[in-house]
Structure 1
């Protein structure tokens, strides 16, 4: 029996109502409700299971020995992408309220199968990078924001919709993209180059185009590599192998080689990192949203199981210790969702360009890497504890919990692991003081509402005032920053029992090292009831 993934998530629905413009709310709610019902349907859940159980397969050559470098997917993968693209999950830029609406939809649809979120996220995030070259944006943006999914390797000009991937990292550099060795040799035609080199990780190699970093004569530069050229011939895009990954198995990740691969420059030579920085920020936000989705699905499964499982003389959900565990998990999930939607709403304000746009831009500069660090880190322990709530049944593949657990570490690694995020926060603190001012203004909105939050903010400021050994302390600093930000949002917007429990445990120090150690005097039953996935 299906359920509405959107409408039964109170933290999500309340966040959408809170941040939506009144004129857009009815339309937004209707779109997300339709997507939520589809996500909770038996049909969509079967798609997710089949796509996960039947991972993509690489075909390097056809039967005549010609190089084709194609990736074959189970039909369920295409059904998932058709629905996600059709729901507008690649269409936010320039659409009123588009980032909030898209983030909420991404959170909903990820709960069906997280793997299809990779090409969806990169297609969405490629738009601001392409806008550095107006001619490229005019050509590609209508395809990337289209609600039409058209798989298959054909010239992009013949398709009503297109998807984008990216190939940034190399085996000798990893996150240090300035160590890349892929070469870009300019051609006579302006803006055209030939690339030669390798990419250790190419995300979603079946896409129509890719953003790639390579060393041009002027330094590290961003390029657009089309999979198929305008005349119908295939660009040189040699897929060496698909990665055998821990999770995210429905999605293809590849190692690729370029050898005289035709590309178009995006942005100026030597400014490749600056060109893709907004793309990176957008995909980092999707890491936060995606982790919030995995947490929500984990908690929904745990609460549902405990509601209907009888043991030791009664329903599990009524047992004080199980209630404590479920409430603790629910707090983590709601805090992640609330923060993710706040970030998405900031993107809409920046996009609108009205009052507050510059403050929100500065807020995002610091809040996105901090949220990416902390929320993605919390995803795996939430999935692990939720699995345990189902006991031995949770360890069995049919429960779906092992798939959630295998997926849970991904977002903490993708688009920069924990250390990369922590160092990015330090960079913003040192170089962009307006970013810290914007976050402090945000925290100030909750000043005086909870003494534990006030104390945590004071402790954060004390730590910021001491720069000795700051790099070695970076993770602790970023953790505190993310927690006080989550606490301030919950104090302002969540029900009192949720905010009280969060502040008492995460900020007040009355918390153990494992889930289920909340103070027993709190209103835990109300916290758990709020997290129930049934209407």
Structure 2
């Protein structure tokens, strides 16, 4: 019998929406609400950009970057050291696209002539990053460090320094030929997250001082960085132990001529070019994709590229640094404080990237359920699977609303006109929460999306596997979950408990603005949800005091904060929109804490909620 006569079954493949912005009602509603009068302009740009990301050219570049991974060439055929990293055309094209779309420039007033406020800019920028991240072949990572570096240079670099006058404009450029990216080199073998154990040193070299950086003398950096993401970046910021000369004739190649402060109190933050021109006359004429062919590394040798679980598209290397010329950024021995400016931003990128990955995979899982027939009916009509998918949608909504609330805080604190002390404290308090909480729950949700496709979900070509492996790094880099939990405790200690009170008041203010939930409406469908959160807020300061006594409780505190933020924002959204789907989401999230633990479909839905869930959620 011929195969075509047997009518063998072929499953219709799930597809991503043609426009992921228009298909994501949660993201669209956030832009509409939080960008106010600027929302029409932002929404129009996001709609256009979503179509760009689904164009044949963009999809080809994504495939190319995912399939042709970075290759390190340490030596040429004659044995000479070359330190060349070859990256895919698609990877370079991602950088060009990021520049043209202003994925960094959008967040900065000086680079965007529109009249939008800082918070509007950040919402618009991070919404574009949300769309870009799962289609970027991990180019979101160098963008995170570039954004963080831009904020550091804007805040701390001297006005007449090369870092400020030459490289900051390149970090914010929309011209692909000028656009520069930054690395962030902190991780070393002895320390990891404990940067106090850093062994890399920076030795001042007086004869390298120049007039434009007279107050920030040049340094030669020596050491080893174990995990340096985006090794193909143009510049980098790095922590190093600053040497203090023992005498006027100190030799920068002799460690014995210097003394060093121990622990993190001896660390300073340094700016350096990763690649420098080799003197070729062709440098001004060569295409920017080939610029590395006329450049050499700045006192750096690449030991190896890391063979990682995911993010394989991104060149991450172990480096030996022997005489890298660098400039101090910020005050001496205040490196940890200076780099915290960068970390606040890169941690939000980790949160955004995680949630964006979950949203992308949920698109796949939901479309598959609408096309796959099992046991005589569509998978989406199977009650248990309908509950699981509805829970995944509610989780995605909770995480999206929460992280964009903190993005808005970032924009507010960056504005000298509207920023308040309380806003700054709240941003500091919530950033580690978003980084860890969003990452952990997005990983759990994405794994559930893979399972929702059965065996085919486990196949690499489906795409969910790649996303799951890539976002797994977000729970680790920039501080693992325990580190973020202890950072939350650190904020409580630094503010003497004030952060807890500020958080409670901010959340109460939002709930109080939901006037429909007042005493005059005790039977409102969200009255119980509001009461649950109000009770938690009453006891929250005391709970924080307990955690200060017992640090092993800090992880549960972090997840509690995430749960409260999401609950408040989902209630706010439900009252604002008045739509059943938002009311369902708020009720389900506040009443079913299993969702906050990454468990889906473990608590029953009412029949009418199941119907609404499969139709709307």
Q: Which residue of 2 aligns with 1:153?
A: none
**Structure 1 residues 529 and 288, CA gap change in structure 2 (3 angstroms):** farther
Residue from 497, 503, 521 that aligns with 2:590: 503
Aligned-residue RMSD, C-alpha: 2.1
CA distance in 1, matches of 2:65, 2:333: 40
Q: Is the 8 A contact 1:325 1:516 kept in 2?
A: yes
**Structure 1 residues 15 and 230, CA gap change in structure 2 (3 angstroms):** same
**Structure 1 residues 206 and 246, CA gap change in structure 2 (3 angstroms):** same
Q: Is the 8 A contact 2:101 2:174 kept in 1?
A: yes
Q: Is the 8 A contact 1:85 1:120 kept in 2?
A: no
Q: CA deviation at 1:274?
A: 0.9
Residue from 51, 54, 62 that aligns with 1:40: 54
Q: Which residue of 2 aligns with 1:287?
A: 350
* SS of the residue 1:261 aligns to: strand
Bigger Rg over Cα: 2
Q: Which residue of 2 aligns with 1:54?
A: 68
CA distance in 2, matches of 1:229, 1:28: 38
**Structure 1 residues 416 and 221, CA gap change in structure 2 (3 angstroms):** same
CA distance in 2, matches of 1:170, 1:323: 46
Q: CA deviation at 1:90?
A: 1.6
Q: Which residue of 1 aligns with 2:180?
A: 162
* SS of the residue 1:354 aligns to: coil
Q: CA deviation at 1:256?
A: 0.5
Which is further off, 408-417 or 24-33? 24-33
* SS of the residue 1:229 aligns to: strand
TM-score by length of 2: 0.80
Q: Is the 8 A contact 2:242 2:333 kept in 1?
A: yes
Unaligned segments of structure 1, at least 5 residues? 151-159
Q: Which residue of 1 aligns with 2:267?
A: 220
Q: Which residue of 2 aligns with 1:519?
A: 604
Residue from 132, 135, 151 that aligns with 1:112: 135
Q: CA deviation at 1:228?
A: 2.8
Q: Is the 8 A contact 1:291 1:411 kept in 2?
A: yes
Residue 90 (structure 2) pairs with residue 76 (structure 1) = yes
CA distance in 1, matches of 2:405, 2:504: 15
- Within 5 Å, which residues of 2 pair with 1:167-186? 167-186=185-204
Which is further off, 5-14 or 56-65? 56-65
**Structure 1 residues 337 and 397, CA gap change in structure 2 (3 angstroms):** same
Which is further off, 187-196 or 61-70? 61-70
Q: Which residue of 2 aligns with 1:133?
A: 157
Q: CA deviation at 1:303?
A: 0.6
CA distance in 2, matches of 1:400, 1:340: 24
Q: CA deviation at 1:104?
A: 0.6
Q: Is the 8 A contact 2:228 2:318 kept in 1?
A: yes
Q: Is the 8 A contact 2:441 2:598 kept in 1?
A: no
Q: Which residue of 2 aligns with 1:446?
A: 511
Q: CA deviation at 1:114?
A: 4.7
Q: CA deviation at 1:64?
A: 4.3
Q: Which residue of 2 aligns with 1:373?
A: 436
CA distance in 2, matches of 1:412, 1:118: 14
Q: CA deviation at 1:434?
A: 4.1
Q: CA deviation at 1:263?
A: 0.8
Q: Which residue of 2 aligns with 1:479?
A: 559
Q: Is the 8 A contact 2:402 2:569 kept in 1?
A: yes
Unaligned segments of structure 2, at least 5 residues? 1-14, 245-265, 280-294, 518-526, 575-581
Residue 426 (structure 2) pairs with residue 398 (structure 1) = no
Q: Is the 8 A contact 1:460 1:481 kept in 2?
A: no
CA distance in 1, matches of 2:486, 2:238: 23
Q: CA deviation at 1:242?
A: 0.5
CA distance in 2, matches of 1:340, 1:244: 30
* SS of the residue 1:249 aligns to: coil
What count of residue pairs does the alignment treat as equivalent? 519
Q: Which residue of 2 aligns with 1:28?
A: 42
Q: Which residue of 2 aligns with 1:156?
A: none
Q: Which residue of 1 aligns with 2:474?
A: 411
Q: Which residue of 1 aligns with 2:102?
A: 88
Residue from 21, 27, 42 that aligns with 1:6: 21
**Structure 1 residues 243 and 511, CA gap change in structure 2 (3 angstroms):** closer
Q: Which residue of 2 aligns with 1:146?
A: 173
Q: CA deviation at 1:511?
A: 9.1
CA distance in 2, matches of 1:526, 1:488: 22
Q: CA deviation at 1:353?
A: 2.5
* SS of the residue 2:393 aligns to: helix
**Structure 1 residues 30 and 430, CA gap change in structure 2 (3 angstroms):** same
* SS of the residue 1:205 aligns to: coil
CA distance in 2, matches of 1:7, 1:80: 22
Which is further off, 139-148 or 42-51? 42-51
Residue 332 (structure 2) pairs with residue 246 (structure 1) = no
CA distance in 1, matches of 2:137, 2:541: 37
CA distance in 1, matches of 2:420, 2:102: 24
